[in-house]
């Protein structure tokens, strides 16, 4: 196991009716901006619950944050914060809204060009406004980590950032408010959490037995409960376990002291930047192809994954690896997510664009060995057609 530092300061308020506890989590003299996406937060009653919980406070509302949050939209929020002297932010939504809020919290305090936050991948962040979140879509784990991703269509860029200043102060996780999510969003959330886990697990052995066991439990839970969540959307036990699994998949625990990959994410980001494909769907395309392409480098962990997650123990090593890659792909398809680029209107010309974008954004040495080049990405994408 590698040396590591681990600290996660986010307070989690988990369970039914926890929005009612919001008032105690925010300083009494704070002027609060509520940030959200489209109309679903209003229609579902979540915003109403929040307004009730914060009755008597000075509130400012900023809506319209996109599913792949846009840089320009975030800057509009920064302007509104400055105009209204806001000093606490409350993100209401899934990973996109929380990611945007993290960027906004940092950009409000940054004196230079806010684009530098993204081109430096967050290294220039020295402070950020305090913020909390009310999670409505379990998927990204953004409610309990310090990273985010912002899209700039004008630059055809989707860039990640990370800073210790960007942890939420608190996050409210009420599984009941996920009951009305469309099946597409439920499926995306399950696959997103699955691939987050795989990026930290499917690398090479590092004698991190606790992290491996934890990751394998999260993967088995997603495989078992993901399809059931589509079948019985108002089962509290299923929804609560999926919500907590998605949070644990990317709150730092399973990634502490282990090598990490993240190549599927970096390649997937360029697909989204190109044609706005749902983030989770890009991952469902890239990961199985990358697993096969990198099977020699990942051989030991692929065999461990086959045995401990899918109970595939018979046959030759290559046969087991083939079987587990096929099982992974079929799981994504079972969740209703297509796993080939052709399903998303991407062919050879678009692959050329994606490869060039990786080069432009400095994504030239990806993976746990820093060995996946843009030309390797081209091969992985061609195999995913």
- pLDDT the model gives residue 230: 97
Q: C-alpha distances in angstroms, 98 versus 51, 104, 150, 194?
A: 18, 10, 11, 19
- Quote the distance between the C-alpha of residue 24 and its chain's center: 28
Give the DSSP letter string of 31-77: -EEEEE-STHHHHTTHHHHHHHHTTTS-EEEE----SS-BHHHHHHH
Contact 373, 364 (CB under 8 A): yes
d(CA 48, CA 58): 15
Q: Is the pTM of this model over 0.75?
A: yes
- pLDDT the model gives residue 39: 87
Contact 250, 162 (CB under 8 A): no
* Positions of the chain with pLDDT under 50: none
| Residue from 104, 64, 63 nearest 87 by CA | 104
Rounded to the nearest 10°, the torsion over CA 322, 340, 270, 366 is 10
| End-to-end C-alpha distance for the chain, whole angstroms | 37
Contact 305, 155 (CB under 8 A): no
- pLDDT the model gives residue 103: 98
Domains of the chain: 11-177 (3.40.50.1970), 181-383 (1.20.1090.10)
């Amino acid at each position: 196991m590698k040396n590591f530092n681990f600290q996660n300061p986010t307070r989690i308020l988990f369970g039914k009716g926890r929005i009612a506890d919001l008032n105690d989590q925010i300083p009494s003299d704070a002027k609060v901006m509520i940030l959200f996406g489209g109309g679903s937060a209003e229609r579902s009653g979540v915003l109403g619950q929040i307004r009730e919980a914060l009755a008597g406070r000075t509130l400012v509302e900023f809506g319209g944050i996109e599913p792949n949050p846009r840089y320009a939209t975030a800057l509009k929020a920064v302007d509104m914060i400055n105009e209204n002297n806001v000093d606490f932010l409350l993100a209401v939504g899934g990973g996109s809204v929380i990611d945007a809020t993290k960027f906004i919290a940092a950009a409000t305090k940054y004196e230079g060009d806010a684009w530098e936050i993204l081109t430096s991948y967050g290294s220039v962040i020295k402070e950020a406004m305090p913020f909390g979140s009310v999670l409505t879509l379990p998927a990204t784990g953004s409610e309990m980590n310090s990273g985010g991703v912002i899209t700039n269509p004008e630059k055809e860029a989707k860039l990640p950032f990370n800073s210790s200043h960007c942890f939420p102060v608190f996050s409210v996780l009420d599984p009941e408010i996920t009951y009305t999510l469309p099946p597409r969003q439920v499926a995306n959330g399950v696959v997103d959490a699955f691939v987050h886990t795989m990026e930290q697990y499917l690398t090479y052995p590092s004698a991190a037995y606790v992290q491996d066991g934890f990751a394998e439990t999260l993967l088995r839970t997603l495989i078992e409960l993901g399809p059931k969540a589509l079948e019985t959307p108002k089962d509290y036990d299923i929804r609560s376990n999926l919500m907590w699994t998605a949070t644990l998949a990317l709150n730092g625990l399973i990634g502490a002291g282990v090598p990490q990959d993240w190549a599927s994410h970096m390649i997937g980001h360029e697909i989204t930047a190109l044609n706005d494909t749902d983030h989770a769907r890009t991952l469902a395309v890239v990961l199985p192809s990358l697993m096969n392409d990198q099977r020699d480098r990942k051989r030991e962990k692929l065999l461990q994954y086959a045995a401990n997650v899918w109970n595939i123990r018979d046959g030759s090593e290559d046969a087991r690896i083939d079987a587990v890659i096929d099982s992974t792909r079929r799981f994504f398809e079972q969740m209703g997510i297509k796993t080939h680029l052709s399903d998303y209107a991407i062919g050879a010309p678009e692959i050329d664009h994606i490869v060039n974008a990786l080069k432009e954004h400095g994504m030239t040495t990806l993976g746990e060995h820093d060995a996946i080049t843009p030309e390797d990405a081209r091969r992985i994408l061609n195999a995913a057609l």
